[in-house]
Structure 1
Amino acid sequence: MAERDPIEETKTFVQQMTTYRIVEGPAEPDSPRGRLERYLAEHPDERVTPELVKAAREGKL
């Protein structure tokens, strides 16, 4: 039996239990993470705050 990577096993478990999808690499541009990444690239002096995350989730960025 092939040995499984514990990191990949953990990712799979978390995705199954939370229904979140763990993604590596760039986010989809129209996703909350993509909007947040774009905003932060355009405003390098800004820091991530709960308000910014909320705005990204609501599509206001």
Structure 2
Amino acid sequence: MDMNDPQQVGAAFGAMILGGVLEEGPPDPESPLGRVRAFTAQYGEEALRPDHFDAAREGRPLLP
């Protein structure tokens, strides 16, 4: 992160306040976001429904 870029510093601070972190690169495949991305890569974005996000957060399988 460029500590001289106010936008990057602000984004990192906001993530920290919300309990997250900013990372470069793809998400961990076992994280909820990584699981949703793998699902959309396999089935396409049109197959993604709101209940898939709940399942990803809860660790349940993402079914088409």
Determine if the TM-score, normalized by the shorter chain, exceeds 0.5.
yes
The structure 1 segments of at least 4 consecutive aligned residues displaced by more than 6 Å after TM superposition are none
Equivalent residues, number: 58
Higher RCO (C-alpha 8 Å, min separation 6): 1
Mind listing any 5+ residue stretches in structure 1 that lack a counterpart? none
2:55 is aligned to: 55
Describe how 1:1-61 pairs up with structure 2 within 5 A: 4-44=4-44, 45-47=46-48, 49-60=49-60, 61=62
Length-normalised TM-score, structure 1: 0.75
Two-structure CA RMSD over aligned residues (Å):
1.8
